[in-house]
Chain A
Amino acid sequence: MKALAAGFTFFARRLTQAALVMLAILIIAFAVHAALGDPLREIMGEAVPVAEREELRHKLGLDAPWPVQLARYLGGAVKGDLGTSTIYKRPTLEIILAKFPASLELVLGASLIVLLLSLPAGVYCAVRPRSVGAKLIMSLSVLGISVPVFLTGIFLITIFAVWLGWLPAFGRGETVRLGFWETGLLTRDGLRHLVLPALTLSSIMLPLFIRLVRGAMLDELGHDYVRTARAKGASPLRVWLSHALRNALLPLVAVGGLQTGTLVAYTLLTETVFQWPGMGFLFLEAVTRADIPLVTTYLVFVGLLFVITNTIVDIVSLMLDPRISLEGTR
């Protein structure tokens, strides 16, 4: 009963925190919007007489004091209205949501590669730290950390697209519409287009995760329960995988899940290299063409993703290790 109450308090506290962070992000976005964007110029252009301009300013309520405007902005944000793009003349959130599937599919593809490779590689490096293979993997991971993600992309394009001509280098290829979700995962062409970008994005996360898995595993292997399990006669493989790895997953979820910001940044770079039509590519276009509403909406959206993943990571950590709740609500 007590544990349940503690769990509930933890949950409520996390949700309040998430809401407060979102509020802060929205206020920053409003400030940027107010400081950099001029909605009148966006609507009317430069060549409109001052009197007419002032009239519209009044009509749109843009001469209201800033707290009123902030309240209006926040009110709009709750309903999903974060402004209108000056390039596309459409609601900014709609444009970003249309690009979101492309970015998410890229991230999912890369995460799959990272997951499939980093777990075995990390476990191997932890259980056989002195083997040649482990040393090779660790050296390669130093190299991987040293190569900027956009160069990995460029080299992959040079080799597989320009020289060998095996895989396409640009865009998403053929896509299929599933309701509002435009997916490239269902066509051969779409999947072929995903290979190089996903490999590129995974290349930068892979060394980090191999080191994480290895570190977490090494910590666990030093514990007494591992020796006990071995003494009871459990096979090494069973001890590594179902005892140590299971416990090593907790720090993995906690640290790995907190890489959202980094992942967004690297996705942005990857999208630029491959002209992948995702959110990051859109964001850079908005920046070059000074589309302030679109820029601030992107910030709010990325902030939201960040808050959601962090909250989920905290809750999953709680489920994996109930001790955290007691510490968290102290």
Chain B
Amino acid sequence: MSAEGVQTGPRALLAFAGERPGGALAAIVLGAIALAAAFAPLLAPQNSFDLTSFDVLDAGLPPSWLEGSDPRFLLGTDAQGRDLLSAILYGTRISLVVGVLAVAIQTAIGVPLGLLAGYAGGRVDTIVTRAADIQLSLSTLMIAIIALALFRAGLGGESLTRFAVPLLVVVIGLAEWPYFARTARAATQVEAVKDYVRAARALGGSSLGIMWRHILPNILSPLIVVATTQVAGAIMAEAALSFLGLGMPVTKPSLGTLIRSGYDLMFAGAWWVTVIPGLVLIGLLVSVNVLGDALRDGLDPRRGAR
């Protein structure tokens, strides 16, 4: 809670890794996946979004360790003859970009509202809390499904294809802000009555300045923890929406789209088109969640003591 005893810098990071090997491992796996996704255009043997770079004649080839494979395709090919390894690298890139940007929107809406509600209290607090409760009770995934379904039904599949990434980011971003608002509000309420805030107010600091410069830096730990789990949630939401055919189009596949398009091939025996992207998605989600759990335990001294 207080700043005493909390180490900073690389030594703290090492101590953290020593205490929580699972979290450290998760961070390394996550870092590797993120790097691979970031450098997808350099690493991938093929540009997955360039329809001219692959051939339908190569469709449904198995991974290199199975019979009938082609040495050009390490993990085999999908229904369009796309190199699966490249598609997974590019797909992970989309999943991560959508996840991180959506969480950025959630933060941008939720944190200021939560700060305001926690600091001002009274009617502002009631309105923000009420709005957050109502939205959470509707289920964020259901809101996203309905919003994208209406876009698709109203504007047709084509415009959805063109604006898929921004649409997904905005829809998932708007759907899940309440988690940040709740966390920020609860933490702000604790901080707002502390002496340093009273001192700042006595010195004539403006409310906005106090919230931004004094309270926000002190409530960062719980916010970081929420942000981690929310990234996992956003990636999972994107995959679910794409699997339902409401997210990324087949021409620009994310991991969810790859799973969906591979699903049709599964009964023809081509399980790898579904299972391999599926395993990558699970690896991504598990490492984000494990890292989130480790951060929560590590950043909260009360939990660490248990």
A interface residues, Cβ below 8 angstroms from B: 32, 35-36, 142-143, 145-151, 154-155, 157-158, 162, 258-262, 264-266, 268-269, 272-273, 283-284, 286-288, 290-292, 295, 299, 302, 306, 310
Contacts and interface: CB of A to CB of B under 8 A. Distances in A.
Nearest to B287: A146
B89 interface: no
A262 B278 contact: no
B282 A147 contact: yes
B142 A150 contact: no
A181 B146 CA distance: 27
A284 B293 CA distance: 35
Contacts of B293: 142
Contact of A272 (B137, B244, B278, B286): B244
8 contacts: A36-B154, A149-B240, A154-B274, A158-B266, A259-B139, A268-B145, A269-B240, A283-B149
Contacts of A150: 239-240, 243, 259
B232 A146 contact: yes
Given A162-B267, A261-B138, A269-B240, A142 B149 contact: no
Interface residues of B, number: 38
B100 interface: no
B243 A287 contact: no
A259 B246 CA distance: 23
B278 A287 contact: no
Given A150-B240, A264-B142, A158 B271 contact: yes
B233 to A, nearest CB: 10
A32 B150 CA distance: 8
Nearest to B156: A290
Given A151-B281, A162-B266, A292 B153 contact: yes
A306 B282 contact: no
Given A36-B154, A288-B245, A265 B139 contact: yes
Given A261-B141, A269-B244, 13 more contacts: A36-B150, A145-B289, A146-B289, A147-B285, A148-B239, A154-B266, A157-B266, A162-B267, A259-B139, A262-B141, A266-B141, A288-B245, A306-B138
Nearest to A299: B146
A261 B137 contact: yes
B290 interface: yes
- Chain A CB count within 10 A is highest, among B142, B263, B271, B293, for B142
A150 to B, nearest CB: 5
A295 B153 CA distance: 8
A310 B278 contact: no
A266 B150 CA distance: 19
A139 B244 CA distance: 29
A143 B26 CA distance: 13
B27 interface: no
Contacts of A299: 146
B20 interface: no
Nearest to B286: A146
B153 A36 contact: yes
B141 A265 contact: yes
A266 B145 CA distance: 11
Given A269-B243, A295-B153, A155 B289 contact: no
Given A150-B240, A154-B278, A158-B275, A143 B138 contact: no
B239 to A, nearest CB: 6
Given A142-B293, A151-B259, A295 B150 contact: yes
Contacts of A286: 153
Contacts of B266: 154, 157-158, 162
Contacts of B275: 154-155, 158
Contacts of A295: 149-150, 153
B236 interface: yes
B244 A284 contact: yes
A253 to B, nearest CB: 15
Interface in B233-284: 236, 239-240, 243-246, 259, 263, 266-267, 271, 274-275, 278, 281-282
Nearest to B152: A287
Contacts of A35: 154
The 7 closest A-B pairs by CB, nearest first: A261-B139, A265-B141, A36-B154, A146-B285, A262-B139, A265-B142, A146-B286
Interface in B191-233: 232
A287 B149 contact: yes
Contacts of A262: 139, 141-142
Contacts of B246: 287
Contacts of B290: 142
Nearest to A147: B282
